[in-house]
Every structure is written in C-alpha cells, then in structure tokens.
Amino acid sequence: DDNDSKCSFPTLPTEPSFSSMISEPPSMDHFMVPPEYPNRLVTADDQEKLNALHCYMRSDLLEIVVIESVHDNGKDRREAKNIPTSSDAQMIGRVGLRCVFCGMSPDGGRAGPSMSIFYPRTVSEIYRLVTSWKRCHLSKCRHLPPSVRQTLDGFKECRARGKTAYWIDSAHMIGLVDIP
C-alpha cells in the first residue's frame, strides 16, 4: 500500500556508489547518508525537462535532508549541519526537503514558517509537495534574501506546469526510492 511507504534512500553498501545501491529497507537501527549522495534534487536533464522556476527551486532553494538518530555519536557534526534528528525508529532514514535558507538558521528550519521542511511519503508526492512548498513557504520565509525574492519575482510569468513523471524519474536517478 503506497500510503504506508515513505520516501527514503536505499540501504548503503560498504562502498557507496549509485550503481551498486540496493533498494531494501535499512536492517540496522539507523543508517547515514554519506556525502557522496546529492543534497539537491537537480539532475543534468532538468534544463530540458522543466521550466526555469522548477530548475531554480531544485538547484538553489531546496536541499535534501535525512533524519538521523538522536543517539548517533556525531552530535557536533549534526548540529553544525542542522541535520534533523528523531528518537522514533520509524523516522530514522526518512528523507525530507528543506528550504536552504531556513536550513542555515540556528534551528535548521524546525521553527520556520509553514513547510520550511517537509517529508514526502513517496517519490510520487515530491512534485505536489514542492509546488505546495512554493505557495505556502516562500512568501513567508523570513530567511529568504532579497536577491532571491527578486529572482523569484522574475519567474511570475512562468506558468508552465511540471511533468510529474519526470520528477519521479529524476528522484530515482539520484537514488531516492519508496520503502514500504
């Protein structure tokens, strides 16, 4: 049932590489996403498949975050990068998307305006939630620099809808999978 699945990275082999990843759920108490994983949704095909606004959001405004265990030993590293944590085993490894500017704030976006960080349950929800994030969060984000607001204003005429299938395919290309 898709309602019970969540968007996550697959379990990692000992030497991570996208070609050798497997898509089974984590079998340990937690797992970490190494720095080799992308931290943005952007892919090489975005320019030809998406409108300019969606390209900008994927490359410059949203970052991928993964919930880590509060019990991990890397507390200083997590705090320095504002990595979200949880003591709930079902949340560990869950992938979310966060406003990069809220992510740079001291609270990592957790106390930011609506949807500063959100967690799609499946890769097929990413497009819908990103468009909701644009509508609900960007106009209220107190961390958004004026230059970024100006850039966004330049996209006001951009009315082209995104191709949902491409958002799903590109999520798979960067290693996101649905885990039951």
- pLDDT tens per residue, range 117-159: 898 989 999 999 999 999 999 989 999 999 999 999 998 877 7
Residue spans per domain, the chain: 35-179
The reported pLDDT for the residue numbered 86 is 54
> What's the pLDDT score for residue 28?
34
- What is the rounded average pLDDT of the residues 160-174? 88
Residue 66: band (very low, low, confident or very high) from pLDDT cuts 50, 70, 90? confident
Per-residue pLDDT at 82 exceeds 80: no
Per-residue pLDDT of 48-61, as tens digits, reads 999 999 999 999 99
Higher pLDDT, 109 or 43: 43
Report the candidate in 79, 68, 71, 49 with the shortest Cα–Cα distance to residue 170.
49
**26-48: pLDDT as tens digits:** 333 323 344 566 689 999 999 99
| DSSP class of 83 | -
Token pair for 56: 């900008």
Question: b/e per residue, 66-81, with b = 16+ CB within 10 A?
Answer: bbbbeeeeeeeebeee
Nearest-5° Cα angle at 161, 157 to 164: 155
Whole-number pLDDT of residue 1: 40
Paired tokens of 46: 């975005």
Q: What value does the CA radius of gyration of the chain take, rounded to a whole number of Å? A: 16
